Structures are given as structure tokens and as C-alpha cells.
Chain A
Amino acid sequence: MSYIPHTDEDREKMLRSIGVSSVEDLLREIPRSLRFEGTLPLPPPLSQMETELELARIAAENGAALACDSFLGGGVYDHYIPALVGQTTARPEFYSAYTPYQAEVSQGTLQAVFEFQSLISRLTGMPLVNASLYDGATALVEAIWMASGERSGRNEILIARAIRPSYRGVLCSHLAVSGLRLREFPFGKEGTTDLSCLKQMISNETAAVVVQSPNVFGLLEETEEAGRIAREAGALFIQVFDPASLALVRTPAEAGADIAVGEGQSLGSPPNFGGPLLGLFAARAEFLRRMPGRLSGMTEDANGARAFTLTLQTREQHIRREKATSNICTNQGLVALAAAVHLSSLGPEGFRRAALISQERALELRKLLREAGGAIPFEGPFFREFVVRFPEESLKRGLVRHLLDHRIVPGIPLERAYPEMGGCLLVAVTEKRSRESIRRYADLVRDFADGKGKGAPSDA
């Protein structure tokens, strides 16, 4: 009877008021042949305490991961999160609230969304920001949908191959039957997008060009140039951005992006095994009425006092049905709140320091890994993430296993997504990785190459 407040007496009284003698009487309308008989085939119920212990046991099966120094990134990053962030999203006033349809009693959520939109606008330089989408990948899908609506005579989308592989997969599943032609343009031997190839491929059939910067290898792209090529061909330019990079790196607005989308998890959310994430969606002002998803706007109440409300809802599915700009309803509201609290807590200096320290340590690790025998296939400018290729001989002898045994998670193997990149790892460094852990990573690689790496894990 967990969470059900009714006593036998309550039930009696309620049934009497309805005029039936049992709940079964209320189910008479369901044809007997459709009824499920018996008990659902689930494990037997547990008390709250037993449930919590059982789930804690499952969490403990992942416990070894917590003892590791992780250099995983690829879209989800382990940045420092101020205490106020989690303690705010843990308040039932926020987490147990519904979508703010009744504005008069949802001012907290609505103002937080408005502040989120404003903060992301300041971060990206883009004037329009929505209340969030599911993740960076589906935000890119929405951007492509919006662009193809805006350039409706054109049905080709040119996408850099150097965008995250998970995004490439999600684009395929969402746009396979859209009638749009998705074409990839390659990256060169520097690891950055081949803009001369883009120039050759682009035509008056092209509705939009998609470039990610920092790209899948952490490298900064020539976004301004890509934007110019798109514009000259009459296509829209969509930039996939990384919000943490924008403390230091040129904004999508400065690069001339028409639409900017990104993954916002690094703004105040823990990795959570990849979800919930936060789809960031920003655009130029002229696309207001094509925006997907919710928008919170500032207005007044009947007394002229400042108030907030969901606005321009005629774009949305509950009003517009099949003519809506998107099918999205529930988005990632609480994650957007976390991002707003995160940015407001850190302020410009804190946010910039996180980026600077991440970059400082990434530069240091890159240098040390190179000294330890790793090759750096792409030398161009990057942000907090880079590719390293370890000697084949070390890999054959089990270097990765060795690092894991010593509680270093060295990076994301790139070979599945890019078969030509065997032996390459994508390595991310945030301000939370200590200089000691960075040195330890490099020392383990060097010692292993020197043949000193066998034996039991050290206590380091």
C-alpha cells in the first residue's frame, strides 16, 4: 500500500458515494476477454528500505569506476559543480512542479527558464534561446528541421564528418525518412573539417551546413569561414558548440551562425551515465516564429507587476497539432535550472577559471603523453580534449587494461566511429583532474612502454 493513503473506511465511504460496492464494479466496462488475470510477473515487492539497499547494491557494482581518475569526455564532462546547484534542483518546489502552464502559480519555474534563456544568450551571443531540448543530438535534429523549413526549396544538408558520432547516429534515425539528403564532408589530415571540400559540395540545393567546434577531436574549427561559405551559397550555418569552451573561444554569434546547438550537461549536471542531458538551442532573432520547444517571456500581470509566462505557444503541438514547429512537449526543465544556477554561481571569473584550468591541464597531459611515447595525430588548436595514439606494441601488450588496473580511465577509443583511427583515444581533462593524476597517467604509459609496467597495481 505504499504511497496510497486510503484506509478501509475511506474506501468504503468512497465506494458508497460512487454507488458501487467494489472497485471491480468500476471495471465492468472493460471486456472480460481483455482483462489480465493474476499478478504481474515481477519480483516480489520490497519495503522502502529494502528497495534502497537493493539499488545501493546495484550502484556499488559500478563502484570501481568511482575510484578511477577518468579522462572521458566526448560530450559529457566532469566539471566542478557548486553546492547550490544540486541543492536547488533537489527542492520539491522545483523537481515536483509541473510544466508551467498556469503562470500565476509557476513564476519560480518561469523566471528560472527566462534567466536560463538569458544566460545562454549571453554565453553564445545569440539573441534567441529556447527553454531546452532533450540533448545536443536531438537539438541538432531540431535545428536541421528548422533550417529545412526556412529554406524549403532546398533539400540537402551538409554535415561535417568531424561531429560527434552519437550525433551522426541520431541524425540518421530522426531524418532517415524526412526527404532530406544528408551528406557528410570529410576532415583533412589535420583533423579539422576540409572546407575546400565543403566549397565543392555546396550548391543551391543546400539548405544548411553543420559544423561542430570544438569538433569530435576537440579541435577548433574555422567556423567563421564555414559560415561564410554557407552564406554565400544561400544556406544556413548551424554550429554545434560546447558551452564550456565559450569562456575562451569565439562564440557562435561571432562566427556568424544562424542556429547554434550544443550539449549543456557540463553546466551543472553530473554525468548520470549519459542522461538527463541538456539540449541547448539558440538562433538569430528572425527565426522567432520557427523556434521549436518552449519559450518563457517576460510580461505583466493584471496589476502591471512583472510576471513571466510561456509564450508564442501557437508554435507548439498542444495548439497547432500537426502544424507545430516541433512535437516536443516535456523537455529538460530541471537540467536547465541546474545550468542557470551553475552559471550564476560561478560568475564570469569562475566560469573562465574552469575553462582555463581545464585547458592548462589538457595542454600538460598532451605534452606528457607525447613524451611518454604517445603520438599526437592532430596538432591544431583545441579545447580541453585531444586525440592520442599509443604505440601499437604497447596496445597489443594491454596498455589500456594496465591503465584501468591502475585506476586510470584513459579516454574514449575512436576506432568504432572512425575505423581509420585504430589505437586512437579521445582524452578529456577538466579542472577536477589533479596534476598528480595527470602525471600518474603519463608515468604509467611511459613505464609500460619501457617494460616496467607489469605486476600488481600500485597503491598510487
Chain B
Amino acid sequence: MLNPVIFELHKKGRAAEHLPAPETPEEEILASIPERMRRRLPLRLPEVPELELARHYERLARRNHHVEKDFYPLGSCTMKYNPRVHERIAALPGFAALHPMLPETLAQGAIRLLASLEEALAAVTGMDAFTLQPAAGAHGEFTGLSLVEAYFRKKGEDRRKVILPDSAHGTNPASVRRLGLEPVEVRSDERGEVSIDALGAVVDERTAALMLTLPNTLGLFETRLPRIVEIVHGAGAQLYLDGANLNALLGIVRPGDIGFDVMHTNVHKTFSTPHGGGGPGAGPVGVKEHLIPFLPTPRPVRDGDRWTWKHDFPDSIGPVHSYYGNFAVLVRAYAYIRHLGGPGLREVTEHAILGANYLRSLVEKSYPVPYRRAAMHEFVASAARFFQTANVRAMDIGKRLLDFGFYAPTISFPLIVKEALMIEPTETESRETIERFAAAMLAIAKEIEEDPERVRGAPYDTPVRRVNESLASRRPRLVWEDGADGEGVPSRG
């Protein structure tokens, strides 16, 4: 079999022996658990020789795209290089082997590191304090909005509305709902920014917050931000920053200096920690002074020359994670900030912006960019004209890019651009890579004119051809099931 699942490699009795047999007879140990509380279901884990296992994961590894293989143009995802040295640092036993409930005296370095990272993030963003507990961006959104909700509850104000631009990430409205708040959409204007008129019309004394992504998901700076701040604060509401695009702001703009009250960051974007094929990330939340009392507990604080966990914050929303957040991820983020420092972080942003604008200049003749203004760290092109003339969709172009060895851009987002291709090269992609990618984009544009069918049928040169997603959802097979004859047959869910 070319591509077996792990259960197809199973034969009884051939797993490697990792552990000794217990010294006590098994029945004696089991006697501590009454019959009725014991497992009766057979434990059907695979038994695979270690070499075959290693080859199995080697095969899987080869079937993945990843940052070290080639460029990820994914807009809003900031797929920058994950420095190798961070992997070595995070694996140090002095970090990896620490139990979270160790007495504080035995974990001084770990608590200090977390406190130092909070301080560093505050310095980078201009916020007054951070919590590192949220495990991902959406968890950060939920946490940040919880702080806003708690703040207004404490003040006795009933504010249920959260305003979101129509270009917002899908997590924003989903997080708002999770808090039982009411998402209200505000449209973008012809410049691709929040419409000031529309905003003025919806913000009122029932508004808790405006959630803004800056630069927005079109890669554009909200140039009328001072007016937005006036409107939002004028109504007594809070201004939330979705920090997904913070890579465009380092050392250039500090959200805490310009009117934002609360924000989350995605350290797996801006601060170079790996995406892990879907996590773990981390979504620290920063706040201005007035929201500090509501931050999750426990918080790392200095007590003389010692670091300690402080639990006693009466207005706190309480913990949002079992312990202190994704510590091993946060260690990497701290190493990144410590390595680059202020000047290095500013260079990150300058080169992210330079790269995005350069790539745009190379492709925009073929792929029109609807909002013709200077891009920040990413830009959104439209494939609408290919859809009209050749029935080729943005998704098809993305799939064709896979044949060139690249990943696809973010497709069909933001929703306000037809056939959107959202592209973010990050500061770590070289001029040569950007040019190679642009050449592929242009070659595809040409191919659409000559042989659109070819593009619609892509990809060809990938581990599998176009995957049938509708079959997957029509007949969900979510776990493997062995047939009676030992042949694997997938479960029909």
C-alpha cells in the first residue's frame, strides 16, 4: 500500500518494548480497581515495529508543505521563518520538564521569564499590562472581550453591542457571540476603510466595543483612526485591536499610544513561533490601566527579590487556562524579542512592508488590487476578471500555485473583495523568492488565457490531486475502523 494509515501497519505483538513488566503480578495491581470500574472494551491501539513507525511519520512528513520547504503567501497568517535556535531553547529541560505546580522557589526562572515577556509585549505595543494565558488568537479575543464586559458590568453599564467591520476575521463575530454579546457589522467605504458615517450611525450608549484589525484585512491602515477613536470613546465604548496584523506595526505605531484600550497578539504570527500544523499558538492580551484589575489570575508579580504568583485580584475574570498559557510557545516569543530588541523589531516591520509592496508591484498588472493605496504588510488582489472571462476562480489559482511548489494565498477573504487573493510575504522571504512567486502568478495568468481548463483542474504535481471535499462532508469518515477480515475499512461516521 502506497500510503497506509497507522492501523494498516498493525500486527499483533510487534510493537517495540518501551517499558518493563510491572514487578507485582498484574492481578494484584488490578485488585485495587473493582471489577465494575475496569475497562472491558478491547484497547485497539496499533502494534507497529519502531522502524516501520519511523518510516510512517517520514512518509507523512514528506506529504506536507512547510515554511522550510517553500514560501507560504498566506495573508493575515504571517508565515515567517521559525528560528531553529528557538526550538533548542524551548526544549531545555529547565523549561520543558517543569511542572506547573512546582513550589515557586523551584520555578523562579520560569515565572520571571513570563513576567519579562509581559513587560516586553507592553513595551512593543504601548499597553500597560498583559496576560499570557490565552492559548490562541481567538482565545485572546474571547479574553479581551471578557475584560471589556467585566469592566462595564462593574460600572453598572448595560452595553451589549460589539461593532465589527465587514472585513473582520470570522473569529471576531464568533468570539462576540460566545460572550452572549451582539455583533453589529459596519461597512467599509470605497477606500477600504471603516465608513465613518456608518460607524457614527451604529455606535451608541449600548455599544461595548469596536473591534478593529490594524492594518485591516485589506492590508490598509485606517487613516481616520483619530476620528474612530473619538466616536468610540465619545460614546463611552472601548476600542479593541485584533492584533493579527501586528507585524505591520512594530516600532512604527504602538496601539496603546493611539487609543486602543485592549488588544490581543498572535505570537505565532508576529513573534515567529511555529504554527505547528494548527497550533499550539498563543494569544496574549494587553490592556490599558483601567482594565488591569480584570485581567486573568494568577499573575506573576515581583515580591522583593522573588517572583510569585498572585491570585488575589477581586475584580479579575478568573483564569482562562488550566495554568499560565502555552509556556513553551511563550519561551520562543521571548527569545525572539530578546534577540531582535527594539531596532530589530522595527526592521522586521519595515521589511515586511517593503516585501508586500514589492510583490504587489510585480503582480498587480495581472491581478488588480481593488484599493490602490500603499499596502502595509499584505495586500489583497482580485481574480474576479479571470472568473468573468475564463470561469477560473481564486481557489483554482491557489491550487495551481501548489504545482509551482508554493502554498496558496488566503483565498476568498476578506469577504468584501470578489475572488480575493490575500498575500503576505513577511520579512523573511528573500527578493529572489518573491520574484519566483510573482513569476508563477504571472505564468498562471497567462495560462488562464491559453488553457483555463488546465488551471481549473489543478493541482497535478502534489501528493494528491484535487481533494473531494464535498464527498468528505456528505459521507463523513472521521475515524478508522477495521473490518472483520482485518482489511481496513473506514467508518461511515
B46: A residues at CB distance < 8 A:
344, 347
**Contact between A167 and B322, CB atoms less than 8 A apart:** yes
Q: How far apart are the CA atoms of A130 and B319 in the complex, in Å? A: 24
Shortest distance in angstroms between B74's beta carbon and chain A's nearest beta carbon?
Answer: 6
**Contact between A317 and B329, CB atoms less than 8 A apart:** no
**Contact between B97 and A270, CB atoms less than 8 A apart:** yes
Shortest distance in angstroms between B136's beta carbon and chain A's nearest beta carbon?
Answer: 4
Q: Does B442 contact A (CB under 8 A)?
A: no
**Contact between A74 and B101, CB atoms less than 8 A apart:** yes
Considering only CB atoms, which chain A residue lies closest to B132 in the complex?
A275
Shortest distance in angstroms between A388's beta carbon and chain B's nearest beta carbon?
Answer: 16
Q: How far apart are the CA atoms of A254 and B296 in the complex, in Å? A: 37
Q: How far apart are the CA atoms of A248 and B320 in the complex, in Å? A: 31
Given the interface pairs A61-B112, A62-B108, A104-B462, the reply to whether A173 lies near B468 with Cβ below 8 Å is no
* 0/1 interface trace, chain A 88-132, chain B, CB 8 Å (1 if under): 101111111111111111111101111101110111010111011
Q: Does B29 contact A (CB under 8 A)?
A: yes
Q: Does B47 contact A (CB under 8 A)?
A: yes
Other than A42-B345, A353-B22, give 5 A-B pairs with Cβ distance below 8 A.
A52-B85, A98-B407, A114-B479, A125-B41, A299-B471
**Contact between B45 and A26, CB atoms less than 8 A apart:** no
A106: B residues at CB distance < 8 A:
63-65, 277
**Contact between A48 and B180, CB atoms less than 8 A apart:** no
Given the interface pairs A272-B96, A381-B37, the reply to whether A36 lies near B50 with Cβ below 8 Å is no
Given the interface pairs A26-B357, A70-B99, A104-B462, the reply to whether A84 lies near B478 with Cβ below 8 Å is no
**Contact between B319 and A298, CB atoms less than 8 A apart:** no
* 0/1 interface trace, chain B 1-22, chain A, CB 8 Å (1 if under): 0010111000000011111111
Q: Does A352 contact B (CB under 8 A)?
A: yes
Given the interface pairs A98-B77, A138-B321, the reply to whether A34 lies near B101 with Cβ below 8 Å is no
**Contact between B5 and A111, CB atoms less than 8 A apart:** yes
Interface residues of B in 54-109 (CB under 8 A from A): 54, 56-57, 59-69, 72, 74, 77, 79-83, 85, 87-89, 91-103, 105-109
**Contact between A138 and B358, CB atoms less than 8 A apart:** no
Considering only CB atoms, which chain A residue lies closest to B1 in the complex?
A306
A166: B residues at CB distance < 8 A:
319, 322-323
Q: How far apart are the CA atoms of A114 and B320 in the complex, in Å? A: 28
Given the interface pairs A114-B480, A302-B465, the reply to whether A333 lies near B33 with Cβ below 8 Å is no
**Contact between B278 and A331, CB atoms less than 8 A apart:** yes
Q: Which of B221-229, B380-388, B444-452 lies at the interface?
A: B221-229
* 0/1 interface trace, chain A 311-344, chain B, CB 8 Å (1 if under): 1111011111111101111111111010011011
Q: Does A18 contact B (CB under 8 A)?
A: yes
Q: How far apart are the CA atoms of A457 and B322 in the complex, in Å? A: 34
A113: B residues at CB distance < 8 A:
278
Given the interface pairs A311-B469, A327-B138, the reply to whether A348 lies near B322 with Cβ below 8 Å is no
Q: Does B26 contact A (CB under 8 A)?
A: yes
**Contact between A34 and B226, CB atoms less than 8 A apart:** yes
Please pick, from B19, B44, B170, B477, the residue contacting A431 in the complex, using a CB distance under 8 A. Answer: B19
**Contact between B170 and A321, CB atoms less than 8 A apart:** yes
> Counting chain B CB atoms within 10 Å of each CB, which of A63, A105, A169, A296 scores highest?
A105
**Contact between B94 and A59, CB atoms less than 8 A apart:** yes
* 0/1 interface trace, chain A 1-40, chain B, CB 8 Å (1 if under): 1111110001101110111100101111111011110011
**Contact between B96 and A309, CB atoms less than 8 A apart:** no
Shortest distance in angstroms between B23's beta carbon and chain A's nearest beta carbon?
Answer: 7
**Contact between B459 and A104, CB atoms less than 8 A apart:** yes
Considering only CB atoms, which chain B residue lies closest to A10 in the complex?
B431
**Contact between B276 and A105, CB atoms less than 8 A apart:** no
Q: How far apart are the CA atoms of A60 and B323 in the complex, in Å? A: 21
B337: A residues at CB distance < 8 A:
42
Q: Which of A193-201, A204-212, A354-362 lies at the interface?
A: A354-362
Q: Does A277 contact B (CB under 8 A)?
A: yes
Shortest distance in angstroms between A11's beta carbon and chain B's nearest beta carbon?
Answer: 7
Shortest distance in angstroms between A55's beta carbon and chain B's nearest beta carbon?
Answer: 5
* 0/1 interface trace, chain A 36-77, chain B, CB 8 Å (1 if under): 100111111111100110111111111111101010101110
> Counting chain B CB atoms within 10 Å of each CB, which of A90, A108, A348 scores highest?
A108
Shortest distance in angstroms between A46's beta carbon and chain B's nearest beta carbon?
Answer: 6
Q: How far apart are the CA atoms of A270 and B98 in the complex, in Å? A: 8
Shortest distance in angstroms between A221's beta carbon and chain B's nearest beta carbon?
Answer: 9
B88: A residues at CB distance < 8 A:
52
Shortest distance in angstroms between A179's beta carbon and chain B's nearest beta carbon?
Answer: 6
Considering only CB atoms, which chain B residue lies closest to A75 in the complex?
B322
Q: Does B436 contact A (CB under 8 A)?
A: no
**Contact between B74 and A98, CB atoms less than 8 A apart:** yes
Interface residues of B in 377-403 (CB under 8 A from A): 398-399, 402
B341: A residues at CB distance < 8 A:
40, 42-46
**Contact between B95 and A273, CB atoms less than 8 A apart:** yes
Considering only CB atoms, which chain B residue lies closest to A68 in the complex?
B106
A234: B residues at CB distance < 8 A:
none
**Contact between B142 and A174, CB atoms less than 8 A apart:** yes
Q: How far apart are the CA atoms of A345 and B6 in the complex, in Å? A: 10
Interface residues of B in 21-46 (CB under 8 A from A): 21-24, 26, 29-30, 32-34, 36-41, 43-46
Q: How far apart are the CA atoms of A174 and B322 in the complex, in Å? A: 12
Interface residues of B in 304-361 (CB under 8 A from A): 311, 317-331, 334-335, 337-348, 350-351, 353-355, 357-358, 360-361
Number of interface residues of B (CB under 8 A): 207
Supply 15 A–B pairs (Cβ within 8 Å), ascending by A: A25-B374, A62-B107, A72-B99, A92-B82, A102-B399, A173-B146, A174-B142, A250-B40, A275-B329, A288-B493, A311-B478, A327-B138, A334-B279, A349-B47, A353-B22
**Contact between B340 and A114, CB atoms less than 8 A apart:** no
Shortest distance in angstroms between B248's beta carbon and chain A's nearest beta carbon?
Answer: 10
Q: Which of B198-206, B232-240, B285-293, B422-430 lies at the interface?
A: B422-430
Given the interface pairs A40-B346, A329-B138, the reply to whether A55 lies near B335 with Cβ below 8 Å is yes
Q: How far apart are the CA atoms of A4 and B433 in the complex, in Å? A: 13
Shortest distance in angstroms between B95's beta carbon and chain A's nearest beta carbon?
Answer: 5
Q: How far apart are the CA atoms of A51 and B83 in the complex, in Å? A: 12
Please pick, from B38, B56, B374, the residue contacting A26 in the complex, using a CB distance under 8 A. Answer: B374
Q: Does B368 contact A (CB under 8 A)?
A: no
**Contact between B171 and A317, CB atoms less than 8 A apart:** yes
Q: Does A217 contact B (CB under 8 A)?
A: no
**Contact between B174 and A354, CB atoms less than 8 A apart:** no
Q: Does B110 contact A (CB under 8 A)?
A: yes
Shortest distance in angstroms between B278's beta carbon and chain A's nearest beta carbon?
Answer: 3
**Contact between B323 and A107, CB atoms less than 8 A apart:** no
B3: A residues at CB distance < 8 A:
107, 111, 305-306
Please pick, from B40, B65, B329, B339, the residue contacting A102 in the complex, using a CB distance under 8 A. Answer: B65
Q: Does A395 contact B (CB under 8 A)?
A: no
Considering only CB atoms, which chain A residue lies closest to B108 in the complex?
A61
Q: How far apart are the CA atoms of A52 and B268 in the complex, in Å? A: 19
Please pick, from A316, A341, A352, the residue contacting B43 in the complex, using a CB distance under 8 A. Answer: A352
Shortest distance in angstroms between B153's beta carbon and chain A's nearest beta carbon?
Answer: 8
Please pick, from B19, B174, B178, the residue contacting A321 in the complex, using a CB distance under 8 A. Answer: B174
A177: B residues at CB distance < 8 A:
146, 149, 153, 179-180
Considering only CB atoms, which chain B residue lies closest to A173 in the complex?
B318
Given the interface pairs A95-B87, A105-B64, A137-B321, the reply to whether A31 lies near B226 with Cβ below 8 Å is yes
Q: How far apart are the CA atoms of A383 and B34 in the complex, in Å? A: 12
Please pick, from A15, A33, A59, the residue contacting B92 in the complex, using a CB distance under 8 A. Answer: A59
Q: Does B196 contact A (CB under 8 A)?
A: no
B92: A residues at CB distance < 8 A:
55-56, 59
Interface residues of B in 235-271 (CB under 8 A from A): 250-254, 257-258, 266, 268
**Contact between B23 and A127, CB atoms less than 8 A apart:** no
* 0/1 interface trace, chain A 160-192, chain B, CB 8 Å (1 if under): 000010110110111011110000000000000
B250: A residues at CB distance < 8 A:
40
